[in-house]
Amino acid sequence: MKTLDDLLAEGVSGRRVLLRADLNVPLDGETITDDGRVRASLPTLRRLTGAGARVVVTAHLGRPKGAPDPKFSLAPVAARLGELLGAPVALAADVVGASARSTVDGLVDGGVALLENIRFDPRETSKVDGERAEFAGELAALVGDGAAFVSDGFGVVHRKQASVYDVATLLPAYAGGLVLAELEVLRRLTGTPDRPYVVVLGGSKVSDKLAVIESLLPGVDRLLVGGGMCFTFLAAQGHGIGDSLLEADMVDTCRRLLADAGDKIQLPVDIVEADAFAADATVATVAATEISEGWKGLDIGPATAKRYGEVLASAGTVFWNGPMGVFELAPFAEGTRAVAQAIVDSPAYSVVGGGDSAAAVRALGLPEDGFSHISTGGGASLEFLEGKTLPGIEVLERS
């Protein structure tokens, strides 16, 4: 796999570089609520601009339905990226149209342009190879002869999409610094991690994490379960869970996992329950086996947090993916905060698996440097750990 170092050694001054970044940030209106992915893109961008490249960035935001939609515009991202780089970032008003062409033509050495949301073109995510290839050809033509492609959006490398996969078959392709760093971390987790190896899994659904649970279980020492998914496990043990989240079709699967895992899987011993899904709901802490009829479990309780913290304190390696409760609502944030703080306090090599976990770290004001690595790609990280082939990585290895 050729890398950013290889490209820089070849020389990029005055040369156009098409860079696929992951700038899919959460927005409140036009305000970015978590700019972690924007900041993660900076090292590769700065190395390219510092060497005089003319950088054309492609990225997506949200899930527009293959057509321009103002609420998914990358305008707030372009503004924030410019602030962080200390130089304006020109935003094209389209993807490969007249505005994109004039914006790219206007670039100077060391300049950065951002194309509008790549998913405004339906060919980006098409399942038809020819449609994606056509779009990739237009992206390659936009940057012209002598250009290069750098893949630095780790959060999308598990997608076979035009700006991730197909364009790498048309231009000289290189792995960016962020992609390389993510791969190094994940290979450490799947290689010979320091022991004990503890995985903390949360989030809402067992079905979302089933493949990674089955892949990780043989190699981990403890798997600590929280979030909405814990209630399907508790139901599999025969406990009442009130009106808590339940995947009824996964109960038998959870029962099998518990039987196969022995004492590896640990479930909550107490739960923070509420009479409604609301910040002002009536709240109580109960044993995990005594959730009230008609109430919802929305966080792990303090006894569970303490118990999980003790396991994490002696860990050699920790992988955490998924919050322990509905951390966005104050009454149900303490479980996630306590477990995250326990990971920070642990001497373990610790990896936060992107997505909601990374958002929780920042939303709860925890020190980002307290973790060894915070991934930018939740889905991509999980698929790597499941042993799946990531198309965006495979194409780089073949380039």
pLDDT of residue 74: 98
On whether the 4-180+391-398 domain is CATH 3.30.930.20, my answer is: no
Residue 158: pLDDT over 80: yes
pLDDT of residue 229: 95
| CATH 3.40.50.1260 boundaries in the chain | 4-180+391-398, 195-347
Q: Binding site annotation covers 159? A: yes
Q: Binding site annotation covers 296? A: no
Residue 7: pLDDT over 80: yes
Per-residue model confidence as pLDDT tens digits over 245-277: 999 999 999 999 999 998 999 999 999 999 999
Token pair recorded at residue 175: 């792995």
Could you tell me which CATH number the domain at 195-347 has? 3.40.50.1260
pLDDT of residue 47: 98
Q: Binding site annotation covers 23? A: yes
| Of 12-26, 302-316, 363-377, minimum mean pLDDT range | 363-377
CB 27 within 8 A of CB 38: no
Residue 354: pLDDT over 80: no
Q: Binding site annotation covers 354? A: yes
pLDDT of residue 377: 85
Residue 376: pLDDT over 90: no
Per-residue model confidence as pLDDT tens digits over 88-141: 999 999 999 999 999 999 999 999 999 999 999 999 999 999 999 999 999 999
Residue 198: pLDDT over 90: yes
Catalytic residue ranges = 37, 205, 355, 379
Residue 240: pLDDT over 90: yes
